C-alpha cells in the first residue's frame, strides 16, 4: 500500500491545490486505524514489543463492510486496531512546536495519516450499489485549511486516476483487518 501511495498519490497530491500548513487539526481530531504491518513497524521504532505497543496505544473496533471496486465486491468483517487518544483527546504521537505540528512517528505514520485530507468513502450501505472513491474526507473539507492552499489540479481532475489502484491494493492486501476475514463475493 505504501508503495502504491508513493507511486500513485504523492506525485498527484504535489500537483494539486492541497498543501499542508502543519496546523495539526487532523492529528487532534482524526480516528487513526493501523494495519498489522504498521503496528509492527511503529512498535519496532519505539523499541516496544507488539504486545506492549498494543496495550499502551491501541483499542480494537468491530467492522463489517461490503465494498465494490470496479466490478468486484468484497465483504470485510472483523476487528481493526485504532490509536487511543491521549488525555487531551489528541493522537498520542502529536506534538506542537513553535513552527508547527510534529508527528513523533512521522516516517512510520499510518496510511490514513499519509492520505489525509483524502479518504476512501462508501456511497451507501447497499451491497448492490455500494461504490468507493478516494476523495477529500468530510473532515478534510470542514477542517483542513490545506485544501485550496495553492494553484494546481483540482481533486475532481485527479480522483479518477488514483482511486481504483489504491483501493484495490488496500482491500486485496487485507492490511487493515487485524483480526477477521475478507472474501470476494460472487457477482
Ligand atoms: S488539517 Fe490539513 S493543513 Fe492541518 S495539519 Fe492536517 S493535513 Fe495539514
Ligand atoms: S500518527 Fe502522526 S500524523 Fe498520524 S495523527 Fe498521529 S501525530 Fe498525526
pLDDT in tens, 144-184: 888 888 888 776 676 665 555 555 555 545 555 556 666 66
Q: Is 108 in the pocket of ligand 2 (CB under 6 A)?
A: no
What pTM, to 2 d.p., does this model score?
Answer: 0.76
Place of cell 465494490: 68
pLDDT at 103 over 60: yes
Find the 27 Cα to ligand 2 centroid distance in Å.
5
Rounded CA gap, 33 and 64, in Å? Answer: 15
* Mutation to probe ligand 2, out of 28, 31, 32 (largest number of atoms < 8 A from CB): 32
Best CA proximity match to 177, nearest among 71, 63, 14: 63
Find the 47 Cα to ligand 2 centroid distance in Å.
18
Q: Does residue 144 have a cis peptide bond before it, meaning omega lies within 30 degrees of 0?
A: no
Place of cell 472483523: 78
Check if the beta carbon of residue 167 is closer than 8 Å to that of residue 120: yes
pLDDT at 33 over 70: yes
For residue 85, the ligand closest to its alpha carbon is 2
Find the 94 Cα to ligand 2 centroid distance in Å.
6
pLDDT for residue 124: 47
pLDDT for residue 93: 97
pLDDT for residue 84: 96
Q: Is 113 in the pocket of ligand 2 (CB under 6 A)?
A: yes
Residue 32 alpha carbon, nearest atom of ligand 2? 5
pLDDT for residue 111: 77
Rounded CA gap, 28 and 143, in Å? Answer: 11
Check if the beta carbon of residue 171 is closer than 8 Å to that of residue 182: yes
Higher pLDDT, 122 or 102: 102
Q: What is the pLDDT of residues 43-99, one digit of tens each?
A: 999 999 999 999 999 998 887 777 665 566 767 777 788 999 999 999 999 999 998
Check if the beta carbon of residue 155 is closer than 8 Å to that of residue 135: yes
Higher pLDDT, 142 or 165: 142
Q: What is the DSSP secondary-structure string of 69-86?
A: ETTEEEEEEEEEEEEPP-
Find the 142 Cα to ligand 1 centroid distance in Å.
11
| 135 confidence band (pLDDT: 50, 70, 90) | low
Average of per-residue pLDDT across 25-52:
90
* Mutation to probe ligand 1, out of 31, 91, 144, 149 (largest number of atoms < 8 A from CB): 144
Write out the E strands in the chain.
Answer: 33-34, 58-69, 72-83, 94-97, 100-103, 118-122, 132-136, 179-185
Higher pLDDT, 102 or 67: 102
Amino acid at each position: 500500500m505504501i508503495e502504491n501511495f508513493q507511486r500513485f498519490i504523492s506525485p498527484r497530491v504535489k500537483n494539486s491545490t492541497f498543501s499542508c500548513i502543519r496546523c495539526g487539526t487532523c492529528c487532534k481530531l482524526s480516528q487513526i486505524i493501523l494495519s498489522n504491518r504498521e503496528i509492527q513497524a511503529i512498535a519496532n521504532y519505539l523499541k516496544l514489543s507488539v504486545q506492549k505497543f498494543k496495550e499502551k496505544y491501541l483499542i480494537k473496533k468491530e467492522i463489517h463492510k461490503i465494498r465494490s471496486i470496479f466490478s468486484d465486491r468484497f465483504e470485510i468483517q472483523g476487528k481493526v486496531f485504532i490509536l487511543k487518544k491521549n488525555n487531551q483527546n489528541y493522537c498520542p504521537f502529536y506534538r506542537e512546536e513553535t513552527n508547527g505540528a510534529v508527528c513523533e512517528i512521522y516516517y512510520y505514520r499510518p496510511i490514513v495519516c499519509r492520505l489525509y485530507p483524502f479518504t476512501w468513502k462508501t456511497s451507501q450501505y447497499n451491497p448492490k450499489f455500494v461504490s468507493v472513491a478516494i476523495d477529500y474526507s468530510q473532515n478534510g473539507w470542514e477542517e483542513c485549511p490545506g485544501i485550496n492552499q495553492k494553484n494546481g489540479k483540482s481533486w475532481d481532475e485527479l480522483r479518477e486516476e488514483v482511486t481504483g489502484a489504491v483501493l484495490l491494493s488496500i482491500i486485496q492486501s487485507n492490511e487493515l483487518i487485524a483480526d477477521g476475514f475478507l472474501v470476494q463475493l460472487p457477482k
